């Protein structure tokens, strides 16, 4: 019988560990956190030094009971992850299982290997309460912000919104970038390119300067007609490229996005599986250093497979001075395993980690860069051709994102070249780039906001809560004039350039812009980049035992709570950002674009005038509160539009609602997508009504006088009384069930639990 109980967070981790520990060790999983602040209520005793009131989460009560039973008369080893979150899980286990945190064995390891586990068992420690306090500080502070600030947003902006200390800053970063893009004024310049030939070998070159006008572009090409081109200068210089440091959490997320197309969340899920199966080291880290063992095994692999010239031992210095989440970069546990993973995603990510870690210990890549200047006898225009030759691949034999070398033909100064063609094309200056998930992670890291364990959940939650959407922008086709010089003939070309297109970028929703503006104005510290970074630094001080966690919370809460109190006097009208578009030409009523309960909308009439009726309309598709025009708004107030009557003499009205265009007959609403409610005809509406009636007829199997119905549903026939539903057994014919039998089936059916929205 086992004398020891090892508790880890996940079943996968438990399975891997069980391979390395003998029969004296029983391995159990806590399935993550077992205790937390209950979702209902604040559960932080503000008056009692911000004491958190924890409870075993409902879904973990059975787990805790099983762990208590397993721990009886055994030596307990807590083997959760080595970061703050893992330390907190271990501490909560001691509290729930009645263990003494000062006596219980706490073991940590950066990789799940036999060597690492044996070393951990030999050198146990007790729970690091400083790390626990740092995690508690984050949890309590985030609960205070969410619990007190979210209701403010409900009252002032829209019900159901949530605020968070890190998520609100992340949203602001995206919103601020979108404002930069909106305010950006693109400028057009002309880029002149050319194709030259030397002894029938063609190569590309480009004019060394951009031209500021269409006339100048045309004039420049005109001057090249009949010109003789020669090489005025050749510069060759050796260069080199150095390998990058092995992955941290942030750089792994960025590179997996760029190379593999993985989302940040997807990267962390796949990396977690690789770690728990013992294939890579711990994946939540901001360190770039490698262990002595890793350095040695990498050296052996490189020399054996590539040769001594390819090896160059390096220990990268971690840029982040507060790095503390782990002691080593992300790497394979064994460099000899060139491939690993249980599915395609794991295999791809493992390969990326293996390549990056191994290449970090390889020599520089040597290249030779060549720049050729090309002059002519008709003008002062100088073209430049660039080429590069890889002389020695070094680390690039393993890890590179570059394409083929641009190799120029053999040339000497003074050689005459043939111009095949030259083209002057319009180039539009680009606005600052929108954030992708990966570049947002990079920005958060640069600002010092969050830590390795928070990047993925932060980016996930701002999308789930509707502040940011990941999507594409089509851009606008802009007509331009280009010039093509070929065989000494100049041709003018009309072309179209797509300006403003973007793919797979983080786009703020209208509610994100409104919420951010509100927080910046009334809660500036919450979304202040420097302030948020300083809070993270305070957590680091707590983790290092240099500050009490309750002091860090008290310092923050004092000013924050005052802002919450002061916000009570803010009017909803003031927050809604109503923009006066103009006045209705007939009734002279003002028309506003504003934010309402369900999002951006149009309002006709002034809310301040209680004697006049106010009417509302949705924004036209594709327009925003900032760019909708009066003409576009007037069309929307033509709805609802009466099309005619049904055979029962009921009005048929066309309109647009929250879920798109529809027609209404009494209390019945029928979607008419993709038809336009401004243009739909009575005949088209009657067709939609007939389709709806046919579907309803198919849906209704039996309708009893008591109101009980037998209906066809998406998962088969069922019985309902409007409040409760009951499935029908496959052996029964729904058409033959009597009313009495239907009542009995309903009574025996279990009552479905009501969904309760989690309160902050």
Are 282 and 168 found together in one domain?
no
Q: How confident is the model at residue 164 (pLDDT cuts 50, 70, 90)?
A: confident
The predicted structure's pLDDT at residue 760: 38
Domain boundary residue, one of 531, 552, 575? 575
Are 615 and 666 found together in one domain?
no
The predicted structure's pLDDT at residue 194: 97
Residue 228 lies in a domain: no
Highest mean pLDDT among 15-19, 423-427, 694-698: 423-427
The predicted structure's pLDDT at residue 451: 82
The predicted structure's pLDDT at residue 606: 81
Q: How confident is the model at residue 757 (pLDDT cuts 50, 70, 90)?
A: very low
The predicted structure's pLDDT at residue 755: 45
The predicted structure's pLDDT at residue 609: 67
Q: How confident is the model at residue 625 (pLDDT cuts 50, 70, 90)?
A: confident
**Which long-range contacts does 735-740 make (Cβ < 8 Å, 24+ apart)?**
735/701, 735/702, 735/710, 737/702, 737/710, 739/704, 739/705, 739/706, 739/708
**At what angle are helices 264-276 and 437-447 packed, to 10 degrees?**
80
- Please compute, for residue 54, the number of CA atoms within 13 A of its CA located in the half-sphere on the CB side: 15
CATH of the domain at 105: 3.40.50.140
DSSP string, 251-290: HHHHHIIIII---HHHHHHHHHHHHHTTSB--S-------
Q: How far apart are CA 722 and CA 707, in angstroms?
A: 8
Above 60 in pLDDT, residue 87? yes
Above 90 in pLDDT, residue 28? yes
Above 50 in pLDDT, residue 195? yes
User: Average of pLDDT values for 105-109?
Assistant: 93
The string of pLDDT tens digits covering residues 429-444 is 999 999 999 999 999 9
The predicted structure's pLDDT at residue 135: 94
Looking at the chain, the whole-number percentage of residues with pLDDT higher than 90 is 63
Are 71 and 104 found together in one domain?
yes
The predicted structure's pLDDT at residue 403: 54
Q: How confident is the model at residue 96 (pLDDT cuts 50, 70, 90)?
A: very high
Are 587 and 615 found together in one domain?
yes
- This prediction has a pTM of 0.79
DSSP 8-class letter at 739? H
DSSP string, 382-436: -EEEEEEEEEE-GGGGT--------PPPP--TT-EEEEEEEEEEEEEPPPPPPP-
Q: How confident is the model at residue 754 (pLDDT cuts 50, 70, 90)?
A: low
Residue 448 lies in a domain: yes
Are 305 and 345 found together in one domain?
yes
The string of pLDDT tens digits covering residues 587-600 is 888 888 887 777 78
CA dihedral 263, 269, 274, 276 (to 10 degrees): 160
Residue 472 lies in a domain: no
Above 70 in pLDDT, residue 573? no
Residue 432 lies in a domain: no
The predicted structure's pLDDT at residue 66: 94
DSSP string, 609-664: -TTS--EEEEPPTT--TTT--HHHHHHHTT-SEEEEE-TTS-EEEEEEETTEEEEE
Q: How confident is the model at residue 117 (pLDDT cuts 50, 70, 90)?
A: very high
Highest mean pLDDT among 277-281, 602-606, 609-613, 634-638: 277-281
The predicted structure's pLDDT at residue 2: 81
The string of pLDDT tens digits covering residues 683-736 is 999 999 988 888 877 788 888 988 899 998 878 899 998 888 998 988 899 889
The predicted structure's pLDDT at residue 407: 84
Above 50 in pLDDT, residue 649? yes
| Token pair recorded at residue 85 | 């979150």
Residue 623 lies in a domain: yes
Contacts of 265 (CB under 8 A, 6+ apart): 456, 457, 459, 460
More confident residue, 638 or 352: 352
CATH of the domain at 569: 1.10.460.10
Give the total number of structural domains in the chain.
Answer: 6
The predicted structure's pLDDT at residue 758: 42
User: Average of pLDDT values for 78-106?
Assistant: 93
Q: How confident is the model at residue 323 (pLDDT cuts 50, 70, 90)?
A: very low
Are 51 and 99 found together in one domain?
yes
**Residue holding tokens 């929108």?**
434
Are 354 and 260 found together in one domain?
yes
Provide the sign of the torsion angle of the four alpha carbons 67, 72, 78, 79, taken in this order: negative
Provide the sign of the torsion angle of the four alpha carbons 301, 330, 109, 537, taken in this order: positive
CATH of the domain at 351: 1.10.290.10
For residue 54, give the nearest of 65, 67, 41 by alpha carbon. 41
Are 631 and 670 found together in one domain?
no
| Token pair recorded at residue 71 | 């721990």
The boundaries of the domain holding residue 735 are 704-748
Above 90 in pLDDT, residue 424? yes
Are 568 and 443 found together in one domain?
yes
The predicted structure's pLDDT at residue 756: 47
Are 460 and 557 found together in one domain?
yes
Above 80 in pLDDT, residue 1? no
Q: How confident is the model at residue 375 (pLDDT cuts 50, 70, 90)?
A: very high
Q: Are 106 and 150 in contact (CB under 8 A)?
A: no
Above 70 in pLDDT, residue 510? yes
The string of pLDDT tens digits covering residues 136-150 is 999 999 999 999 999
Contacts of 741 (CB under 8 A, 6+ apart): none
User: Average of pLDDT values for 574-597?
Assistant: 83
Q: How far apart are CA 12 and CA 278, in angstroms?
A: 10
Contacts of 599 (CB under 8 A, 6+ apart): 158, 510, 511
Looking at the chain, the whole-number percentage of residues with pLDDT higher than 70 is 96
Q: Are 341 and 272 in contact (CB under 8 A)?
A: no
User: Average of pLDDT values for 476-493?
Assistant: 94
Contacts of 648 (CB under 8 A, 6+ apart): none
The string of pLDDT tens digits covering residues 220-235 is 999 999 999 999 999 9
For residue 483, give the nearest of 228, 227, 224, 221 by alpha carbon. 221
User: Average of pLDDT values for 278-304?
Assistant: 93
User: Average of pLDDT values for 626-638?
Assistant: 87
The string of pLDDT tens digits covering residues 43-68 is 999 999 999 999 999 999 999 999 99
Domain boundary residue, one of 310, 340, 359? 359
The predicted structure's pLDDT at residue 324: 46
520: helix, coil or strand? helix
Q: How confident is the model at residue 453 (pLDDT cuts 50, 70, 90)?
A: confident
Q: How far apart are CA 408 and CA 405, in angstroms?
A: 9
Are 674 and 631 found together in one domain?
no
Domain boundary residue, one of 359, 375, 397? 359
Residue 239 lies in a domain: no
Are 682 and 596 found together in one domain?
no
Q: How confident is the model at residue 320 (pLDDT cuts 50, 70, 90)?
A: low
The predicted structure's pLDDT at residue 539: 92
Point out the residues that are catalytic: 282
Q: Are 398 and 364 in contact (CB under 8 A)?
A: no
Q: What is the mean pLDDT of the chain?
A: 90
Cβ-based neighbour number of residue 636 at 10 Å? 21
Instruction: Please give the angle made by the CA atoms of 412, 413 and 419, to the nearest 5 degrees.
Output: 85
More confident residue, 698 or 373: 373
Residue 212 lies in a domain: no
User: Average of pLDDT values for 631-649?
Assistant: 88
Residue 162 lies in a domain: yes
């Amino acid at each position: 019988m086992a004398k020891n109980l090892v508790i880890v967070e996940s079943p996968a981790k438990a399975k891997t560990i069980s391979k390395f520990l003998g029969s004296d060790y029983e391995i159990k999983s806590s399935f993550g956190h077992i205790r937390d602040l209950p979702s209902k209520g604040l559960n932080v005793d503000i008056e009692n030094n911000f004491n958190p009131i924890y409870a075993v989460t409902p879904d973990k009560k059975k787990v805790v009971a099983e762990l208590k039973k397993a721990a009886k008369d055994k030596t307990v080893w807590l083997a959760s992850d080595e970061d703050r979150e893992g330390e907190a899980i271990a501490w909560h286990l001691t509290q729930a299982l009645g263990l003494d945190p000062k006596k219980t064995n706490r073991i940590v390891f950066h990789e799940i290997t036999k060597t690492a586990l044996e070393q951990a068992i030999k050198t146990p420690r007790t729970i690091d309460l400083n790390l626990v306090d740092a995690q508690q500080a984050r949890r309590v502070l985030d609960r205070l912000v969410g619990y007190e600030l979210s209701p403010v947003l409900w009252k002032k902006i829209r019900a159901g919104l949530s605020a968070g200390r890190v998520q609100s800053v992340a949203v602001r970063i995206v919103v601020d970038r979108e404002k930069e893009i909106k305010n950006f004024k693109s400028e057009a310049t002309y880029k002149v390119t050319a194709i030259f030939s030397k002894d029938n070998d063609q190569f590309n070159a480009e004019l060394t300067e951009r031209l500021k006008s269409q006339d100048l572009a045309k004039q420049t090409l005109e001057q090249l007609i009949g010109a003789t081109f020669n090489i005025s200068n050749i510069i060759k210089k050796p260069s080199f490229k150095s390998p990058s440091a092995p992955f941290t959490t942030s750089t792994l997320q960025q590179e997996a996005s760029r190379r593999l197309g993985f989302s940040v969340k997807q990267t962390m899920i796949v990396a977690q599986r690789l770690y728990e199966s013992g294939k890579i080291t711990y994946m939540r880290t901001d360190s770039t250093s490698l262990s002595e063992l890793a350095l040695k095994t990498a050296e052996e692999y490189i020399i054996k497979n590539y040769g001594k010239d390819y090896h160059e031992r390096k220990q990268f210095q971690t840029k982040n001075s507060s790095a503390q989440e782990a002691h080593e970069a992300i790497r394979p546990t064994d460099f000899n395993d060139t491939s690993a993973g249980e599915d395609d995603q794991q295999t791809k990510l493992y390969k990326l980690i293996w390549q990056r870690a191994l290449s970090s210990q390889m020599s520089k890549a040597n290249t030779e860069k060549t720049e050729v200047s090309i002059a002519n006898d008709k003008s002062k225009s100088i073209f430049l051709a660039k080429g590069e030759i890889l002389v020695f691949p070094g680390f690039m034999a393993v890890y590179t994102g570059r394409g083929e070398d641009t190799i120029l033909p053999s040339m000497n100064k003074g050689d005459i070249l043939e111009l095949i063609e030259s083209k002057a094309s319009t180039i539009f200056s680009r606005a600052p780039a929108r954030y992708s998930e990966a570049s947002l992670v990079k920005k958060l890291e640069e600002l010092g906001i969050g830590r390795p364990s928070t990047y993925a959940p932060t980016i996930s939650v701002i999308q789930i809560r509707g502040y940011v959407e990941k999507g594409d922008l089509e851009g606008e086709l802009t007509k331009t004039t280009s010039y093509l010089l070929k065989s000494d003939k100049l041709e003018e070309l009309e072309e179209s350039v797509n300006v403003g297109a973007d793919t797979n970028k983080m786009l703020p929703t209208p509610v994100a812009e409104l919420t951010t503006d509100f927080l910046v104005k009334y809660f500036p510290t919450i979304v202040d980049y420097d302030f948020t970074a300083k809070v993270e630094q305070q957590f680091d001080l707590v983790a290092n035992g240099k500050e009490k966690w309750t002091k860090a919370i008290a310092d923050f809460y004092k000013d924050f709570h005052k802002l919450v109190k002061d916000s009570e006097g803010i009017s909803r009208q003031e927050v809604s950002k109503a923009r006066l578009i103009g006045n209705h030409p007939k009734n002279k009523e003002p028309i506003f674009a504003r934010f309402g309960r369900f999002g951006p909308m149009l309002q006709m009439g002034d809310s301040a005038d209680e004697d006049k009726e106010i009417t509302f309309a949705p924004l036209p598709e594709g327009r925003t509160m900032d760019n909708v025009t009066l003409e576009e708004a007037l069309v929307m107030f033509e709805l609802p539009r009466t099309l005619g009557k049904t055979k029962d003499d009921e009005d048929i009205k066309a309109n647009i609602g929250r879920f798109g265009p529809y027609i209404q007959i009494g209390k019945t609403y029928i979607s008419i997508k993709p038809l336009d409610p401004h243009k739909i005809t009575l005949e088209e509406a009657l067709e939609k009504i007939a389709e709806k009636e046919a579907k309803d007829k198919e849906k209704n199997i039996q309708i009893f006088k008591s109101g009980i119905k037998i209906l066809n549903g998406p998962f088969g026939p069922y019985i309902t009384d409007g409040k409760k539903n009951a499935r029908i057994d496959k052996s029964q014919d729904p058409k033959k069930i009597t009313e009495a039998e239907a009542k009995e089936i309903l009574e025996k059916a279990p009552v479905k639990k009501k969904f309760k929205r989690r309160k902050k």
